[in-house]
Structure 1
Amino acid sequence: MANPNAELIERFYRAFQDVDAEAMAACYARDIRFEDPVFGVLHGREAGDMWRMLLARAADFSLSYSDIKATGQTVTANCVATYQFSRTGRKVVNEIRSKFAIRDGEIVEQTDTFDLWRWSRQALGLKGWLLGGTSIVQSRIREEARKGLAEFRRKSAS
């Protein structure tokens, strides 16, 4: 018999491949805690709205995933998201390692890790190459991401 927690993460990634933010958000518990190097920590509906925003902007998007491993209520997986960064039009190939905590058949915590400097080199070009490893530029990346999410949420609420 297949592991139901691994199946949940498989469903999450299939929805991601299908650019279906609603199906992704449906895998989350209401009190989801999401964290990654760009957005920092998001709670509840913010996490689903992040996917809604990112996938609404997705251009030339593809996703592959692998190595889904479940141990009790914890699941780990790898994915590679390839897309055109909307702000610069540059191609990004982001290799992400995810860790999920599952409760009652829903994702209650997701922590994504990836190399932010590598991401910035691809997304921002020369500026990212030269300065993307600095805390100043990384803070600016986070600030812009959070600002974009807040604006998206404000417009969506109207």
Structure 2
Amino acid sequence: MSGEKTVRGFLGCYQQHDFKGMQAYLADAAEFSDFAFQIQDNAVKAMWHWFCIPYTSRPDPVKVPEFEVISVEGDRVIARYRVVYLYGEALRPVDYWIRATFTVSDGKIVTQTDRFDQISAFEFARMAFGLPVALLAFTPLLRSTVQKKATEKLNKFSQEYGY
């Protein structure tokens, strides 16, 4: 299976909240990184499961209204996808595009690195936390705080669901 087909299948499963389908596209030792996570192996599988189902701190799964593959060069695929979800205890609406770089081998995603595509860390923080907390985006404190909280929540989910 080509890298492009793999990525399209993976993101299509995400749109359908089909975490098992997504997991089938992941290599056993898959690695994922973005603003909140730097994880691998079962933690990656747990994260996609967590994002695809309603959960205590998020009443609806993450929505992926649209995606597109931008380029394919050998085993590297670059795609964009839009995510919409409610964030934090205040359930603040968040809506933004992600630029994802995938490395695919033998039809499986080995690495995925996600970056904000059209917004800054400040704009993300303003959506997710509101002002004045968003001002922390101009310091290393915001990212470390988001990473710590995200890791704690993912670890809790992983324990509850046996990852």
* Structure 2 length-normalised TM: 0.86
- Asked if 1:47 corresponds to 2:49, the answer is no
Change over 3 Å in CA distance of 1:116–1:22 after alignment to 2: farther
How far did 1:36 drift?
A: 0.7
Paired with 1:90 and 1:45, the residues of 2 have a C-alpha distance of 28
Which residue matches 2:89? 87
RMSD (Å) for aligned C-alpha atoms? 1.9
> What amino acid maps onto 1:80 in structure 2?
R
Which residue matches 2:3? 5
Structure 1 ranges of 4+ moved more than 3 A: none
Unmatched 5+ stretches in structure 2: none
Q: Does 123-132 or 87-96 show the bigger shift?
A: 123-132
Q: Does 6-15 or 86-95 show the bigger shift?
A: 86-95
Aligned-partner SS, 1:102: strand
Q: Does 72-81 or 107-116 show the bigger shift?
A: 107-116
Paired with 2:86 and 2:64, the residues of 1 have a C-alpha distance of 10
Unmatched 5+ stretches in structure 1: none
How far did 1:153 drift?
A: 0.8
> How many residues are paired up?
155
Pick one of 5, 20, 23 that aligns with 1:22: 20
Q: Is the 8 A contact 1:96 1:112 kept in 2?
A: yes
Change over 3 Å in CA distance of 1:68–1:27 after alignment to 2: farther
